[in-house]
Structures are given as C-alpha cells and as structure tokens.
Amino acid sequence: MKPRWKGKGSEAKAIADPMSKIVSQLQSSLMQSEARGLLSSCSVLVEVDAEVADLLNRACFGRPRITAEKEKQWFQLDMEEAFYLGFSLKCLEVVSKDGCTKSDEELWEYMKSKKEVFPISYKAYSHLRNKNWVVRSGLQYGVDFVAYRHHPALVHSEYAVLALSEGENDINGRLRVWSDVHCTVRLCGSVAETLLILNVNDKGQGAISPSCLEHYTVEERTITRWNPEQSRENQGVLENQTK
C-alpha cells in the first residue's frame, strides 16, 4: 500500500525535512537544555521552552498540556516515549516526585510495575522509531500503536501495530483464535491501514534490566484481508478460452 499523503506538496515537505533530521535536532536541544521529566503515574511530564516544544511537535513525541504559562510549555509523554528519549537517545532525565533522579534500571522496574508488557511494547516501539517511523498510541483502533511514514499532518497512518511476545511467555493473549484476527483485520481495513504484527523474542534473556533489550529480536509480519476480486483470474480471458 502506497503512502496516502494529505494534500498537494505533503510528500515534498516530508522529503525536504526527514524525520531522522528532526529527531536528531530534538535530541540535541534536549541535551543542551538538560531536560528533566517528572514521573507521574503512567506518563512523564516535561516542561520545555518554545523551541523544544516545536521540535517535540514536529517529531511527534508526547502531547502538549494546556497551562496558563506563556514562556514554558508542558508535554505529556507516554512511558515508551519517555524511555526512548532517556534510555535510547540519552537526552532526557526522569525524576520522581521527591526530586530524585531515576536510573535506567529504576525507571525500567517502575514502568514494568505499571505495565506488565512494557518490555515487549517498548522493544516494538523502539524498533519502529529506529527505522524513522512516527509511532503513536493505537488505543482508538484496539491496537498498541499506529505507524506513520512522517508527521500525521502530512500523511495518513500506514500500519496498525500489535506487539506480541513469542513462545510460552506470551503475556499479551491476543490473536490466539481466528475471530480475534478477523475482527482486528476488519477494523484495520475500515480505516485503510495494514495490520503489522511485531513478534518480539527475548531469546531467553527475560526482562531483568534494560540491557536485555539488545538481545531481543523482532520479526515483522503483515496481515491483510484476502480480496477475491483481486485474486481471481480474469473472467474475460476465461470466456474467450471456452468459445
């Protein structure tokens, strides 16, 4: 399926301003400003200036929170987004409500306690982000994430993503029966998205610490509905052959 660009010139804008460049600029700005995020339940709140806020918006990390402040803005990051900026890009420091800085290991344990499947969902999230896909929550579609080729203002989402763990340690419990597959694929088709399954294998490493992630592997699979109109032989050819 080809990208569905939103309006004339959207593709040219995306090519001229690649997502890899935007994320690199965001990483640099966050490092220079020594950005700190406040851990709040299942999200991380970050106070930033106008420049960083613009980069967060362009790179599609978090969502702005409306406040009365004009010079500073607040962004709410999901757990995967915050951990990616802190652990993978090394440009965000996360602190608890008492002001203590959380190490990668402490943050890892905290997020696992809030979300049992966090190691799997984070590996899937970082896998797509490392390939320069924009990754957003897929809650409204009944999946883990939705993936965009570039900013959602320029292009429609291309994939609805489910992150599953392989083997006996599968704690997701999804797509185990045909009806689950059928319903999910039908839903994706109604919004012109392809279902992308990311099977994450921990290779027996478990999830003791974030360092285990480097041993995880990801297998990509796409699932689409079979369209008999596109698959059958040309009826006109068959009729000519039978005459």
Length of the chain: 243
Residue pLDDT tens, the chain, 243 long: 688 899 899 999 999 999 999 999 999 999 999 999 999 989 999 999 999 999 999 999 999 987 766 777 899 999 999 999 999 999 999 999 888 999 999 999 999 999 999 999 999 999 999 999 999 998 888 889 999 999 999 999 999 999 998 764 555 556 655 456 656 666 655 555 788 999 999 888 889 999 999 999 999 988 776 655 555 555 554 455 544
* Cα-Cα end-to-end distance for the chain: 37
- Listed by start position, the domains of the chain span 17-115, 116-225
Question: Burial of 154 by CB count in 10 Å (0-12 exposed, 13-18 middle, 19+ buried)?
Answer: buried
Cα separation, 52 vs 151, in Å, equals 16
3-state secondary structure of 222: strand
Per-residue confidence (pLDDT) for residue 72, from 0 to 100: 79
Write the DSSP symbol of residue 86: I
Per-residue confidence (pLDDT) for residue 206, from 0 to 100: 86
Per-residue confidence (pLDDT) for residue 238, from 0 to 100: 46
The residues, ordered by sequence, that sit 6+ positions from 167 with a Cβ below 8 Å of its Cβ are 201
Instruction: Assess contact for 138 and 144: CB atoms under 8 A.
Output: yes
* Closest to 210 measured CA to CA, from 128, 102, 135, 132: 102
Per-residue confidence (pLDDT) for residue 43, from 0 to 100: 95
Instruction: Assess contact for 77 and 46: CB atoms under 8 A.
Output: yes
Per-residue confidence (pLDDT) for residue 128, from 0 to 100: 97
Per-residue confidence (pLDDT) for residue 198, from 0 to 100: 94
Number of alpha helices (DSSP H) and beta strands (DSSP E) in the chain: 9, 10
Cα separation, 39 vs 59, in Å, equals 21
Per-residue confidence (pLDDT) for residue 223, from 0 to 100: 77
State the CATH architecture for 116-225: 3-Layer(aba) Sandwich (3.40)
Cα separation, 147 vs 160, in Å, equals 7
Residue with tokens 């969502």: 63
Same fold flag, 17-115 and 116-225:
no
Torsion of CA 131, 74, 152, 25, to 10 degrees: -40
**Does the domain spanning 17-115 belong to CATH 3.90.1640.10?**
no
- Residue 203 vs residues 111, 175, 198, 200, 213: alpha-carbon distances, Å: 21, 21, 15, 9, 10
- Strands 36-40, 43-48: pairing kind: antiparallel
* Closest to 124 measured CA to CA, from 163, 85, 94, 170: 163
Per-residue confidence (pLDDT) for residue 46, from 0 to 100: 96
Cα separation, 235 vs 77, in Å, equals 54
Per-residue confidence (pLDDT) for residue 194, from 0 to 100: 85
- Strands 159-165, 194-201: pairing kind: parallel
Hey, which residues does 65 pair with through a beta bridge? 74
